[in-house]
């Protein structure tokens, strides 16, 4: 880290503690010796496992100097989130909670919008109202020119960051950070391949030419923490993911690690599902890319969204359980595309 460890002193609240990124951030943050770390998750089991993992780290970390608070909470529950922010003076709110799997979001459209958009908006409003110093929104490369429900909901989150940053009376700095796949995250392709190889089953791949960006959890967490201290109002940062990796090549390499040489019949191509792209991008055609003081972190800029976006987002949330699925899907994507990003096509 470029900054001294005490540069993130105070109270730090991390949303979604046990999810790979949220859990990794929590574990790294205790090195900064904050006065208090608040870990939130909707899952009791996730919180239990996270706390067990944190205790296993105590021998090498002065965890006792930090008060660890853990809460079971749905980020859409305004009453509980507001009470938490009233009870504790939170300086940094790191928002990692989301429904993240593309096929699941496609099949659970209303919940994806409710959690990824509604939950995010609830947190942002309360962070502003309660004077949180910095709100850090964790985004994804799937938010770039999105064709999936998951990507569209995360893109709205990025746009909301820019909307809230235009409020000159707000004491909160809103920042977003975007990156691709994290090795070791739950449900990722590496985990799936490992399970299939150990079970001696064929490996399932969407298409021979499909590729994705990958980064280790450790590196992603460290770069996110860099963004926290360098980020200014309304900025969107993108982590340098290196070159994309073909999923087919990854499958062959992982098979060798397990002592197996793949044959053609060892791979099943299942075809592209709704919302999936053959390849991802880290920034869109409408964005300008700038370097930062850190060689692995870029900053992207685009035209600020219109304030009318907030009205459209609220309308979307008001109708999230009322409209038929295709009507709701159309409303979601029209909300995104009205911000000058029309005509998304798969590549």
DSSP tag of 118: I
Copy the structure tokens of residue 155.
Answer: 């893109």
DSSP tag of 151: H
* Catalytic residue chosen out of the listed positions 142, 162, 248, 277: 142
Backbone angles phi, psi at 148, to 5 degrees: -110, 160
C-alpha distances (whole Å) from 64 to each of 40, 46, 54, 89, 331 are 19, 21, 11, 20, 49
Longest dimension (CA), the chain: 62
Catalytic status, residue 272 = no
Partners of 300 in beta bridges: 236, 289
Tokens 């970390």 -> residue = 61
With b for 16 or more beta-carbon neighbours within 10 A and e for fewer, the 192-207 pattern comes to ebeebbeeeeebebbe
| 265 Cα distance to chain centroid | 35
CA–CA distance, 70 with 50 (Å, rounded to integer): 10
| 104 Cα distance to chain centroid | 16
The shares of helix, strand and coil residues in the chain, as percent rounded to the nearest 5, are 45, 20, 40
Three-state DSSP state, 35: coil
Residues belonging to the active site: 142
């Amino acid at each position: 880290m470029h900054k001294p460890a005490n540069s993130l002193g105070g109270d730090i609240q991390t949303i979604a503690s046990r999810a790979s990124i949220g859990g990794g951030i929590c574990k790294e943050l205790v090195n900064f010796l904050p006065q208090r770390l608040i870990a939130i998750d909707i899952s009791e089991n996730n919180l239990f496992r996270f706390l067990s993992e944190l205790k296993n780290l105590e021998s090498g970390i002065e965890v006792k100097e930090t008060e660890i608070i853990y809460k079971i909470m749905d980020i859409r529950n305004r009453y509980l989130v507001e009470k938490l922010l009233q009870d504790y003076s939170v300086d940094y709110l790191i928002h990692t909670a989301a429904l993240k799997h593309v096929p699941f979001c496609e099949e659970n459209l209303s919940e994806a919008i409710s959690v990824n958009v509604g939950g995010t908006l609830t947190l942002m409003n309360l962070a502003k109202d309660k004077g949180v110093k910095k709100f850090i929104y964790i985004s994804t490369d799937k938010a770039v020119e999105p064709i999936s429900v998951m990507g569209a909901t995360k893109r709205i989150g990025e746009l909301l960051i820019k909307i809230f940053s235009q409020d000159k009376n707000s004491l909160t700095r809103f920042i977003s950070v975007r990156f691709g796949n994290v090795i070791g995250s739950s449900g990722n392709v590496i985990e799936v391949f490992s399970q299939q190889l150990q079970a001696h089953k064929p490996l399932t791949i969407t298409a021979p030419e499909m590729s994705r960006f990958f980064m280790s959890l450790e590196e992603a967490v460290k770069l996110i923490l860099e963004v926290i201290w360098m980020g200014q109002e309304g900025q969107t940062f993108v982590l340098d993911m290196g070159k994309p990796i073909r999923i087919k090549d990854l499958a062959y390499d992982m098979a060798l690690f397990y002592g197996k040489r793949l044959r053609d019949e060892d791979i099943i191509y299942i075809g592209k599902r709704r919302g999936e792209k053959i390849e991802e991008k880290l920034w869109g055609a409408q964005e300008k890319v700038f370097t930062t003081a850190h060689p692995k972190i870029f900053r992207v800029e685009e035209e600020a969204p219109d304030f009318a976006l907030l009205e459209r987002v609220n309308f979307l949330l008001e109708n999230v359980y009322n409209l038929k699925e295709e009507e709701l899907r159309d409303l979601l994507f029209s909300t995104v595309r009205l911000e000058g990003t029309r005509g998304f096509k798969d590549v």
